[in-house]
Amino acid sequence: MIIVMQRGASKKEIGDVMREIEGMGYRTHPIYGVERTVIGAIGDERGKARLQKFETSPGVERVIPILKPYKLAGRELRKEKTGIAVGGNAVFGTGTVPVIAGPCSVESLEQVCSTAEAVKAAGATLLRGGAYKPRTSPYAFQGLEEEGLKMLAEARTRTGLPVVTELMKESVLDLVVAYTDVIQIGARNMQNFDLLKAVGQVQKPVLLKRGLASTINEWLMSAEYIMAQGNMNVILCERGIRTFETATRNTLDLSAVPVLKHETHLPVVVDPSHGTGHWEYVEDMALAAIVGGADGLMIEVHPNPHEAWSDGSQSLTFERFATLMQKARRVAEAVGRKV
């Protein structure tokens, strides 16, 4: 940690800060510049958030952390990428690009099974579907709950596709674990720290969506919450951030993919359906994501988007999804990968 003293800080102020840092078990290293003094505090600053306390010391201008705040999620202590296998045929993080596809909400057995069959035929290797739905309005459809989980499990039985579904509250964690293969933590719960701790205590893979206004740093800290509890199987999912632009539902931050490849060993999946909010833009962004380095895709598909109970405008039909998958295979091949 670097402590920058104010221009004109007194010798006493500098001495006081140094003595206090040393009292906390760090070594200090002052640099006396032309205009300012800067003090290096040597030692592991992580887990010692209280070094920030020097922001309130007389004569201090600012405190700059040097070490990355995440350990388990970071690339410094674990250089090689983490591969996360789900079911028998999908591995995230090792060169292939598994595709998770399915409806926004589970609406009926028929709907989810027909979708599962169609996306499997087109080449998807996992099924998505929401049984618990986070909706902005309390008057909107809130999901079929356990009934929906059962339908997902049945679709898995029929097609062999592992299932990804969202968990919104700890009280149904056991249920979700029992019926499904990957636990999704939605964007709105990315900093629901108790929920993160709870999924950290099971061994199912967790698909952790980025919060609407979360920095990459905060996102990795949320992964760290899960990993610190013992569950190392975290898959990150970029799904767009909130900006001033309204032409798309969110702004898909595709450059987060190469940043994450640099910062973390965890795999990262891209969801262009939520990222754009309009089916017309999904294909272009899905292909771009593969080429940009994504370790997987998550795509909303519905037998009849016009009749979908939620997110119809961003869902692909079976035909459009099949076309996308054909293109995806060609594009992946061009960069030496495989969908």
Binders of its own copies among residues 10 to 69 (CB under 8 A) are: 29, 31-36, 38, 40, 42-44, 46-47, 49-50, 52-53, 55-57, 64, 66-67, 69
Compute the least distance from the CB of residue 148 to its own copies, in Å.
15
Q: Which tokens is 161 given?
A: 């596709």
Q: Positive or negative, the Cα torsion across 184, 187, 188, 193? A: positive
120: left (phi over 0), alpha (psi -120 to 50) or beta: alpha
User: Segment 135-154, which members bind its own copies (CB under 8 A)?
Assistant: 135-142
By CB under 8 A, name the one of 147, 174, 194, 319 that touches its own copies: 194
DSSP assignment of 31-74? EE-SS-EEEEEES--TT-GGGGGGGGSTTEEEEE--S-S-SSSB
By CB under 8 A, name the one of 175, 291, 322, 323 that touches its own copies: 291
Compute the least distance from the CB of residue 233 to its own copies, in Å.
17
Compute the least distance from the CB of residue 98 to its own copies, in Å.
19
Q: Which is nearer to its own copies, 94 or 217 (CB)?
A: 217
By CB under 8 A, name the one of 92, 179, 279, 318 that touches its own copies: 279
What lies within 8 Å, CB to CB, of 139 at 6+ separation is none
By CB under 8 A, name the one of 111, 159, 192, 231 that touches its own copies: 192
User: Segment 93-132, which members bind its own copies (CB under 8 A)?
Assistant: none
Question: What is the Cβ-side half-sphere exposure of residue 88, based on CA atoms within 13 angstroms?
Answer: 4
User: Segment 294-333, which members bind its own copies (CB under 8 A)?
Assistant: 305-310, 312-313, 327, 330-331, 333
Please tell me whether residue 80 binds its own copies under the rule CB under 8 A: no
Show the DSSP H helices in 123-171 as ranges: 146-159
- Judge whether 133 and 141 are in contact, CB under 8 Å: yes
**Binding footprint of its own copies, residue count (CB under 8 A):** 109
Compute the least distance from the CB of residue 262 to its own copies, in Å.
6
Q: Which is nearer to its own copies, 114 or 251 (CB)?
A: 251
Q: Which is nearer to its own copies, 103 or 275 (CB)?
A: 275
Q: Positive or negative, the Cα torsion across 175, 177, 181, 183? A: positive
Measured between alpha carbons, how far is 22 from 42 in angstroms, rounded to an integer?
Answer: 9
By CB under 8 A, name the one of 91, 164, 252, 325 that touches its own copies: 252
Compute the least distance from the CB of residue 71 to its own copies, in Å.
8
Compute the least distance from the CB of residue 150 to its own copies, in Å.
20
Q: Which is nearer to its own copies, 89 or 304 (CB)?
A: 304
Measured between alpha carbons, how far is 337 from 314 in angstroms, rounded to an integer?
Answer: 26
By CB under 8 A, name the one of 255, 319, 326, 338 that touches its own copies: 255
Kindly report each contact of residues 255-259 with a partner whose C-beta sits within 8 Å and lies 24 or more positions away, as own/partner. 255/292, 256/210, 256/216, 257/289, 257/292, 257/293, 257/294, 258/292, 258/293, 259/216
- Smallest CA-to-CA distance from 163 within 90, 222, 92 is with 90
User: Segment 215-234, which members bind its own copies (CB under 8 A)?
Assistant: 215-218, 221, 224-225, 228
**Among the candidate windows 97-105, 115-123, 177-185, 241-249, which touches its own copies by CB under 8 A?**
241-249
- Tell me the β-bridge partners of 30: 39
Q: Which is nearer to its own copies, 88 or 139 (CB)?
A: 139
Which secondary-structure segment (H or E) carries 287? helix 279-292
Compute the least distance from the CB of residue 153 to its own copies, in Å.
22
Q: Which is nearer to its own copies, 26 or 179 (CB)?
A: 26
